[in-house]
Amino acid sequence: MTTDGSEESAERPAEVKEQAETTALVKVPAAEPVSFRQRPAGLSRGQWWLYGSLAALLLLASTVLLVILTTGQATTVLQAQATARALATRHVLASASAQAAGTAQSLATQQAAIYATATAQSLATAQTSQLTATATTYDERLSQITQGHPDFSDDLSTPDESHSWDQGFSDAGTGCFFNNGAYEARAGHAGLLQPCLAHSTNFSQFVYEVQLTITSGQEAGLLFRASADGQSYYLFRVSINGSFALDLYQGQTAQTLLTGFSPAISSGLTQTNILGVLASQDTIVLYVNEQAVGSVHDHTLSAGAIGVAAIDDQLPCVAQFSNAQVWVLH
């Protein structure tokens, strides 16, 4: 090897070495490996501020959205509650109105009933007062009339030829006769009325009284203004149950003109009652034990005979009469 070559050869490694070192110095930063476990370096202050601001904005937006959603739901709920309360209030008001209307109607009905009752009571009181006053007047009139001497008097203990009372039986158990100091009228068939007349009598305006005792059966009474044939007359009858009635008989027809109950009647069998009638023109007043029990106006019969009667409604009747008296009205 030449000297040049040796020197050249000796110098080349140095140059190569220098280049290699230079190359090595340039490539070291890029060639160093990075472990996969090594974390990147921390963020800068600017980055922290940016990210923080973004996070704050995101949080604020989420909060606002949540508030909006919550507020909307709350508003819906409140509106629903308000609607429900409104409906409930309307229902309550409607119920209250209905109840008020019903109460008003009920009160109106009650007031009307009270008014009607009060009116009826007032009318009844007025009528009672009027009847009481009228009855008192009739009682006083009867008392004044009967204080005088009677124009007709028969104790009915024995037959009096001058009065011509009916006597005899139409069949067994039915008829008119004197028995044991009294005049008896008997009705022994269901639905039968047995009249017993004093044929010689004829009165138009008068007071007629007779004493009655029902020993069996239910009803009996007195007759007045009877026709000569005994087909037409007024019948004032009383029952052992305390009821009374005034009937008008004309042939085969009968009409009840007045009926009722009276505490003046001594009810029951064998009880004695004084029956009386005041006949003045078309006014007829009925008395039991000298107390007026009713009055009526009727002008069908104007005069006739007096008498008594027994009535068989459902049971055979035996009625005893005594002390018949008549005061003629002048």
User: What percentage of the chain exceeds 90 in pLDDT?
Assistant: 53
- On the question of pLDDT at 248 being above 90, the answer is yes
| Closest C-alpha to 330, from 144, 153, 139, 138 | 144
In degrees rounded to 5, what are phi and psi of residue 231? -95, -20
Backbone angles phi, psi at 319, to 5 degrees: -125, 135
- Indicate the pLDDT class of residue 56, thresholds 50, 70 and 90: confident
Domain ranges, ordered by start, for the chain: 53-147, 152-328
Q: Which of 154, 197, 136 is nearest to 326 (CA)?
A: 154
Amino acid at position 257, single letter: L
Count other Cβ atoms within 10 Å, centred on residue 71: 10
d(CA 166, CA 259): 28
C-alpha to C-alpha distance for 85 and 185, rounded to whole angstroms: 88
User: What is the pLDDT confidence band of residue 67, given thresholds at 50, 70 and 90?
Assistant: low
Mean pLDDT of 32-54: 52
CATH class, 152-328 region: mainly beta
What average pLDDT does this structure show over 120-126?
A: 46
CA distance 247 to 300: 12
Residue 285 burial (C-beta neighbours within 10 Å; 0-12, 13-18, 19+): buried
Q: Give the phi and the psi of residue 282 in degrees, each rounded to 5.
A: -100, 5
pLDDT for 143: 94
**Cβ proximity of 127 and 300 under 8 Å:** no
Given this model, what pLDDT does residue 116 score? 45
User: What is the reported pLDDT for 108?
Assistant: 40
In tens, the pLDDT along 83-122 reads: 444 444 334 333 333 333 343 343 344 434 434 444 444 4
- Ranges 28-37, 133-142, 176-185: which has the least confidence: 28-37
Q: How many alpha carbons lie under 13 Å from residue 289 in its C-beta half-sphere?
A: 13
* pLDDT tens sequence across 175-198: 999 999 999 999 998 888 999 999
Cβ neighbours around 189 below 10 Å, total: 13
